[in-house]
Amino acid sequence: MKYIYNIIKADYLQRTRSYSFLITLALTVYIAYLFVPLNTASYKTLNVTGFKGAYNSAWVGYVSAIMTTIMLSIYGFLLVNNGIKKDIDTEVGLIIASTPISNFSYLLSKQVSNFLVLLTIVCCTFIVSIVMFFVRGTGYPFIVMNFILPYLIFAVPAMFLVSALAVVAEVFLGKKNILQFIAYFFLFGATMAILNKQDTHGLVTLIDPFGLKTITKSITSAINSQFQANVKDISFGFIFNSHKAYQVFVYNGINWQLPFLISRLLLICMSFGLVYFSSFFFHRFDFKQTISKKKKRVVDTPLSDGLGVLLPSGINRVSMPPLVIDYSIFPFVKTELLLLIRKGNKWLWLVNSGLWLTMLFIPLNIAHAYLLPVLLFLQVTRWSDLTTKEKTNRLHYFTYASYRPLFRILPAQILSGVLLAAALAFPVILRYALQGDLYSVVNVLNGSILLILLAVCLGIITGGQKLYEIIFFLLTYAALNKLSITDYLGSVHHDNQLVYAGLLLGINVFLMLISLTVRNYQSRHL
């Protein structure tokens, strides 16, 4: 038991003390603040056509809880799916493998540490929701159980399942992060698609990991009973719409049913079962390594450089290429571009090529709105370490001390990423160019550059990949759902295209300036 406790404690402290976690926590707290909008706000987090809930404790508590559950279920997986990978990279796993701890105990400790990280964020949003009740409240009494129960019943089991899925993904997919993202993205999307069906059966409601159907049924029942209406459609998320007339209804919470409460316990038991099943397939840090056997060169006599100085065996100065001094950034661009292209599994380029060719022939609006964001997201692991691989491999001591690193190495990394992004988006850019749609060409290029500069900026600031992967995931999810405020590729119609293009350009310039400033400080204070 002491091994489990020590692993959980060390893993939890390591994650929560990272810059990426702290920034993610700050962003989550700000999003939790937005869960309860002003009456004059241009968006809603729960949209019922013609109706709006009064800001009593039940409404604020339940809506904040379900929004926290859904939002953390989206990006919480990306935040915690690297526990085993860190032990592999730092070679701590070799030490753990030599201890008496079992595979199940080790994986369980990783799941619990994942859960504690997510639970920390849940607790912060819980506190923010209470504060927002007193800020936005309209004279209704404060009932603390209307905050505790939804967070305890909705968020806790869902986060436990997400923590287990992160462990399972690492066991079966190893270091293939992009496959983990795709699998989880597909699973989440399929679950939401099933839950959004109007003709869902009781079994679907019973196994709902978010509790979404339960709360929507409760809210529709409250509206229909108070106004004798027939409301069926409820939308969750940040929904932007114009101000319309609405009626205020009072929501008093959910009348909890025993079958649903049992289903939440079963969800936790299923999480334990998934981790236990994965323990039979866990590698326990025992990797087969292929050692290439090369014929050793037999040298009868030591080599000499002609001046009486003996050279090490196997080195011939005559056969070595001449030393050429080149202070331009083009060799760095070539090297960085090759690193990007060669990174990851080669089969992924078959998928990239298929999507790239498909964008040449399918309707342009579909290629722009759906295929292009997916194709760019598939490169998330290539771009996420664009400016962090030096520190990861402890080469920053050399790169920072090189000749003008701020104007040679960093621009080369940015330029190589932009070239790859532009090449991937070329089918859409070409088709818009042939149509003479200059604004769309600029928007796609601006969006592609934004992704690279975001990776560069977040990598330099946090020193890690995780925050960029989370934000990129959320941007892709929002783009596929055509959320106008996060439309970084310009696939949604905007009233003023010039202002929109200028806004994206301004964001890119800001990210560039931040990256140069922080990297300049880092290189001078190594």
DSSP letters, 471-486, are HHHHHHHHHHTT-GGG
pLDDT-derived band at 186 (thresholds 50, 70, 90) equals: confident
Among 261, 279, 297, give the residue marking a domain's end.
279
Task: Answer whether residue 112 is part of any domain.
Answer: yes
The pLDDT value recorded for residue 97 is 85
pLDDT-derived band at 317 (thresholds 50, 70, 90) equals: low
The pLDDT value recorded for residue 407 is 84
Task: Answer whether residue 316 is part of any domain.
Answer: no
The secondary structure of 40-81 as a DSSP string is T-SEEEEEBTTEEE--SHHHHHHHHHHHHHHHHHHHHHHHHT
pLDDT-derived band at 353 (thresholds 50, 70, 90) equals: very high
Task: Answer whether residue 74 is part of any domain.
Answer: yes
| Same domain? 261 vs 410 | no
Given a cut of 50, whether residue 290 has pLDDT beyond it is no
Residue from 369, 313, 298, 379 nearest 342 by CA: 379
Range from 50-54, 132-136, 296-300, 490-494 carrying the lowest mean pLDDT: 296-300
Task: Answer whether residue 299 is part of any domain.
Answer: no
The pLDDT value recorded for residue 96 is 86
| Same domain? 341 vs 259 | no
Instruction: Give the tens place of pLDDT for each residue, 49-100.
Output: 778 888 889 989 998 999 899 889 888 898 888 888 888 888 888 888 888 8
Among 239, 255, 279, give the residue marking a domain's end.
279
| Same domain? 264 vs 367 | no
Count of domains forming the chain: 2
| Same domain? 236 vs 337 | no
Nearest-angstrom CA–CA distance, 265 and 521: 51
Among 219, 248, 279, give the residue marking a domain's end.
279
Range from 202-216, 281-295, 347-361 carrying the lowest mean pLDDT: 281-295
pLDDT-derived band at 293 (thresholds 50, 70, 90) equals: very low
SS (HEC) of 2-15: HHHHHHHHHHHHHH
The reported pTM is 0.79
Helix (H, G, I), strand (E, B), or coil: what is residue 284?
A: coil
Given a cut of 70, whether residue 119 has pLDDT beyond it is yes
Task: Answer whether residue 290 is part of any domain.
Answer: no
The pLDDT value recorded for residue 92 is 86
Task: Answer whether residue 457 is part of any domain.
Answer: yes
Range from 274-288, 438-452, 506-520 carrying the lowest mean pLDDT: 274-288
CA angle 110, 113, 119 (to 5 degrees): 140
| Same domain? 275 vs 370 | no
The pLDDT value recorded for residue 322 is 77
| Same domain? 24 vs 155 | yes
Share of the chain above pLDDT 70, in %: 90
| Same domain? 274 vs 339 | no
Domain membership of residue 377 as a residue range: 330-524
Instruction: Give the tens place of pLDDT for each residue, 470-506.
Output: 889 888 888 887 777 788 888 887 778 788 888 999 9
Task: Answer whether residue 302 is part of any domain.
Answer: no
Range from 9-13, 42-46, 267-271 carrying the lowest mean pLDDT: 42-46
